[in-house]
Amino acid sequence: MIFFDVTKTGTAGHRSGLTRVSRRLRDGLGARATEVTWPPSLPASVTSDDWYLTAELFSEEERPGLAAFLTRRPCRCAAIFHDAIPLKH
């Protein structure tokens, strides 16, 4: 199972590059992905074969508990970094 983070893009009304990439990736994953928001409410049945995937900007400040989640790592984790503009401006 892929738990796909839509914390920001799931409710975004604007069509920024980040929103478009996230939505297209989510659409491409289809039924293999389940949308989650931060903090992730992963099921008790999550295994080390599952994934937590985000294409959104994230930090401990924006996502309290992120460091602990990554340390605990209940499943595999991946982040798509596709645009540095939001970080620069």
Residue predicted with more confidence, 31 or 22: 31
pTM for the full model?
Answer: 0.82
pLDDT at site 8? 78
Return d(Cα 76, Cα 53) in angstroms, integer.
9
CA neighbor of 80 nearest in space, from 44, 39, 40, 29: 29
Q: What is the pLDDT of residues 39-84, one digit of tens each?
A: 888 888 999 999 999 988 778 888 899 999 999 999 999 998 877 7
pLDDT at site 68? 93
Residue that the structure tokens 């989640």 belong to: 69
pLDDT at site 47? 94
For 83, residues 6+ apart whose C-beta sits below 8 A from its C-beta are 17, 18, 21
Residue that the structure tokens 């499943």 belong to: 75
